[in-house]
Structure formats: structure tokens, C-alpha cells
Structure 1
Amino acid sequence: MKITATIGLGANLNDPAAQVEYALAELDRLPATRLLARSSLYTSAPLGYVDQPDFVNAVAQVETGLAPRALLHALLDLEQRHGRERSFRNAPRTLDLDLLLYGSARFREDGLTLPHPRMQERGFVLMPLLEIAPDTVIPGRGRAADWLAACSGQHVTALPPPAVAVNA
């Protein structure tokens, strides 16, 4: 059975926009998984530990046959291949992948809570999510759009699309 899962992506080290773009392409190559939609890139000020560069963020939706734990492990492996180091909470990172939603699943087990426990508090999640899926309902919390106003003090900005080369 295929499920639509929503993944948050972020990076603020080693050419963060490129890290996120590469990871978006790699999501489409995960086993039993295909990329359905991807947002534009956004920049956001760091939360928590603020003495670090701004982040580049995006959100993707995939159709997957992987179980939630298997998908999470695939995302963690992808982070590791991008050089992710977990030196301290909210540290700068080459790539951060969060499993935000897995269909309408609601559960908590060691190392995995769905929906992601803080997604409704993060403008850098909600803005790109609403770009690609404006009617998203966060299970147990309500419409994602209804949470966006609470994030108004966060600095999140859509990046312009990359320039397209035109052959003369």
C-alpha cells in the first residue's frame, strides 16, 4: 500500500541551497518511493541556537511503500551521506530531514512521533507545505493554514527561482 508522506528539508552549511536541491532529487530515488511535489526554497533565521547561518528550507511530498520507521531510517541515511553531524541540539547542519506527516497517522514511539511534534510551530515548515498542499490537515491539530499566523514573528522568505540559462 502506498502512502503520501511529507518531509521537511533544511540546511545551513556547505552550499545549503545545493544540499536541499540534491536531497530533493534523492528522495525520488529512495526504495519504493517517488517524489510527488516539492516546494520552492525558503530562507529562515535559525531557531533555538541562533549563532549560526540562516537556513534554506523546503518541503516535499512523496508517495512511498516504506513503513514510517523504514522511511525515517532512509532519511537518516541520506542525512549521513550529506555529512550531517549531530554535535548539539539545533546545531548547524549540512542537511536535516524531518518526517512531518505519514498519511493521517498519529503515533508516538521511541525516536518517531507523527505528526512531527513541532511542525505547526515552524514557519519554515508551514510556508513551503502550504505552497504545495494548501489544504493540509495536521492530524490531531487541524488545518496547517490556521497555524501560520502564530509563526508571524519568524523570518521566513521564499527564494527566487534559479535563473534559467537562455541560449542565444
Structure 2
Amino acid sequence: MNYKVFLSLGSNIEDREKYLLDAIDNISAVSGVSLEKISNIYETEPVGYTEQGRFLNMAAQISTSLEAEELLDKLLEIEKLLKRERIIHWGPRTIDIDILTYGDLRIDTPKLKVPHPRMFERAFVLIPLMDICEKERLYGININDALDKCGDKDGVRLYKKMTVCDLPGGC
């Protein structure tokens, strides 16, 4: 069975755009994963730990035959490949890849929670997601309504328009 999965990606160290695009390239190379759509790239203020540089954020839609925790393991491998270090909670990072949704499944294990616990509270997640999600509601929540409640909307600015066709080898 194939699942439609939405991912959120972020980077705020060194060549942020390159880390995002390298992550997308590595995700699309995973066996059992097909890259369907990518959002525009947005520059955003840091949330949580604010003593760090601005982030570039984007979202991606994939289709996968992998089970959720198997996909998570592959994404963690990609983060490690791209030199992600977990030193400060919500701190600076070369790349962060989060599973936002996994089909319509709800998952609550020690390793993975889907939908992502804070996705409906963060404009830097919702704005890129709205670029590629044709649904108005996810998990019974209206995306626009959730975005209206986000206090960080003003800190999200378009950085670069993107589609899959803009990727090397795209379209």
C-alpha cells in the first residue's frame, strides 16, 4: 500500500538552500519513496530557541510504500548524512526533516507522533504545506483556521518560488 506523506524541512546553518535541496534529493532517492510535490522556500524567524539565525523552510509531498517508522529511520539517516547534530533543543541545524502526516493515520509511539504534535501551531509549517496540500482540512482541522491562530505568521517570508520541475532532473 502507498501512503501520501507530507514532510516539513528546515535549515539555518551555512548554505541553507543547499541543505534543503540535498535533503529533497536524498529523500527522492530512497527506495519505496516517490517525490510528488515541493513547496516554495520560505525564510522564517526561529521558534523556541531564538538565539540563532533565520531558517529556510519548505514542505514536500511524497508517496511511499514504507511503513511509518521505516520512513522515519530513512529520514534520520539523511539528517545524519547532512551533518545534523542535536545539541540544543530547537537549536541550529543543517537540516531538520519532520513527518507531518502519514496518510490519514494517527501514530503515537515513543519514536513517532503523527500528525506532528505542533504542526497546527506553526506558520512556518502551515504556509509551505498550503502550497502543496489540496485539502482544506487535515485530521479534521481546517488549515486556514489553524494558520489564523498562529502568532508567527509575520515572521514567514517567501524566499524562493519552487516546484519539482526546478530540481535537477525534475520534469
TM over 0.5: yes
**Corresponding residue for 1:28?**
28
**Corresponding residue for 2:150?**
151
- The answer as to whether partners of 2:39 and 2:131 remain within 8 angstroms in 1 is yes
**Corresponding residue for 1:110?**
110
Which segment is superposed worse, 23-32 or 97-106? 23-32
Which consecutive residues of structure 1, in runs of 5 or more, have no partner in the other structure?
A: none
One-letter code aligned to 1:151: C
- The answer as to whether partners of 1:12 and 1:93 remain within 8 angstroms in 2 is yes
TM-score, structure 1 normalization: 0.91
Q: Distance between the aligned counterparts of 1:17 and 1:36, measured in 2?
A: 19
Q: Distance between the aligned counterparts of 1:17 and 1:33, measured in 2?
A: 22
Q: Distance between the aligned counterparts of 2:119 and 2:112, measured in 1?
A: 13
Q: Distance between the aligned counterparts of 1:47 and 1:21, measured in 2?
A: 22
How many residues end up aligned between the 2 structures?
162
- The answer as to whether partners of 1:135 and 1:145 remain within 8 angstroms in 2 is no
* Structure 1 stretches of 4+ moved >2 Å: none
| 1:26 CA displacement | 1.7
Q: Relative to 1, partners in 2 of residues 1:157 and 1:28: Cα closer, same or farther, differing over 3 Å?
A: same
| 1:136 CA displacement | 4.5
TM-score, structure 2 normalization: 0.90
Which consecutive residues of structure 2, in runs of 5 or more, have no partner in the other structure?
A: 167-171
One-letter code aligned to 2:131: E
**Corresponding residue for 1:87?**
87
Q: Percent identity?
A: 33
**Corresponding residue for 1:14?**
14
Q: Distance between the aligned counterparts of 2:38 and 2:146, measured in 1?
A: 20
Q: Distance between the aligned counterparts of 1:160 and 1:23, measured in 2?
A: 17
**Corresponding residue for 1:130?**
130
CA root-mean-square deviation: 1.5
Q: Deviations over 1:57-81 (max 9, x none)?
A: 0000000000000000100000000
Q: Distance between the aligned counterparts of 1:7 and 1:136, measured in 2?
A: 17
Q: Deviations over 1:89-143 (max 9, x none)?
A: 011000000011000011211121110000001111100100111425321x512
Q: Deviations over 1:33-88 (max 9, x none)?
A: 01000001001100011010000000000000000000001000000000000002
**Corresponding residue for 2:169?**
none
**Corresponding residue for 2:67?**
67
